[in-house]
Amino acid sequence: PLPVVAVVGRPNVGKSTLVNRFIGRRAAVVQDIPGVTRDRISYEALWNGKSFTVMDTGGWEPKASGMAASIARQAEFAMRTADVIVLVVDAQVGVTDTDLAAAKVLRRSKTPVILVANKVDDERGEAGAAELWSLGLGEPFPVSALHGRSAGDLLDLVLDSM
């Protein structure tokens, strides 16, 4: 089986946009409405001659159990099944309670976790990324999934972490 990269994070941070970057095509559904990714969907990707599986997550049921519980479940699932976990946070919005809930789970992960500061579309956005140090998951990696900024460097890091 191929190594699995799980992309987790609260709705609307740009997980599916990043997954599309990783797989090099627009297969994952991107939408402004939170919760559009129905469940966990996996895609095959190839980078630097190495094949791997990228798992997009979503499927939130805010009414059933609350967003924090929902994201904690996704993070737990990722820790059981993935070889690398990418936690995506919206650097334009900053840290939310839901991001904190995900980070709390992932801080005890034995699987490597890469903290991605997404929506850093230009140099001015770098300051927002620095705030994510407070999640206690090490250095935030600033990218723009939408424009592709630093996406290749992130993929290099993901593969190095597998």
Residues that bind Mg ion (CB under 5 A): 15-16, 37, 58
The single residue among 2, 27, 30, 93 that binds ligand GDP, judged by CB under 6 A, is: 30
Q: Decide if residue 15 touches ligand GDP (CB under 6 A).
A: yes
3-state secondary structure of 151: helix
Residue spans of alpha helices (H) in 3-145: 15-23, 62-65, 67-81, 97-106, 126-130
Q: Which amino acid type is present at position 14?
A: G
Give CA–CA dist 133/48, Å, rounded. Answer: 29
Tell me which of 8, 22, 37, 135 binds ligand GDP, using CB under 6 A.
37
Is 21 a binding residue for ligand GDP by CB under 6 A? The answer is: no
Cα–Cα distances (Å) from 50 to 26, 47, 79, 85, 98, in that order, read 20, 5, 22, 17, 33
Q: Among 118, 142, 154, 155, which residue sits at the site for ligand GDP (rule: CB under 6 A)? A: 118
In the list 24, 25, 26, 31, the residue contacting ligand GDP (rule: CB under 6 A) is 31
Known binding site for GTP: residues?
A: 9-16, 56-60, 118-121
- Annotated binding residues: 9-16, 56-60, 118-121
